[in-house]
């Protein structure tokens, strides 16, 4: 009886033999898709970082003296 790994290897060999001409295009397309996916993941990560306020060490915000909060 064949196991899952043997069936996968046989399937890969059959695909390689039958699609030898188109195989470089398929690999190139997979590479492009991977690059796009990485770029989108990085953009999402950067977007999440921008939503959190940044704190710069040594910088403080103070109210001028003599000011009162607005009453309302």
Per-residue pLDDT of the chain (72 residues; tens, 9 = 90+): 778 999 999 999 988 888 888 878 888 999 999 999 998 888 877 766 666 666 667 656 676 676 666 665
Dihedral sign from CA coordinates of 28, 30, 43, 49:
negative
Interatomic CA distance for residues 15 and 21, integer angstroms: 11
**Whole-number Å distance between alpha carbons of 48 and 59:** 23
CA 39 to the chain's CA centroid: 6
- The answer to whether the predicted template modeling score (pTM) of the entire model surpasses 0.85 is no
């Amino acid at each position: 009886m064949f196991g899952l790994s043997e069936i996968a290897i046989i399937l890969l060999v059959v695909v390689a033999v039958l699609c030898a001409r188109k195989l470089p295009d398929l690999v190139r397309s997979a590479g492009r898709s991977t690059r796009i996916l990485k770029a989108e993941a990085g953009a999402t990560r950067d977007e999440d970082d921008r939503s959190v306020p940044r704190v710069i060490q040594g910088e403080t915000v103070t109210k001028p003296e003599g000011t009162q909060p607005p009453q309302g």
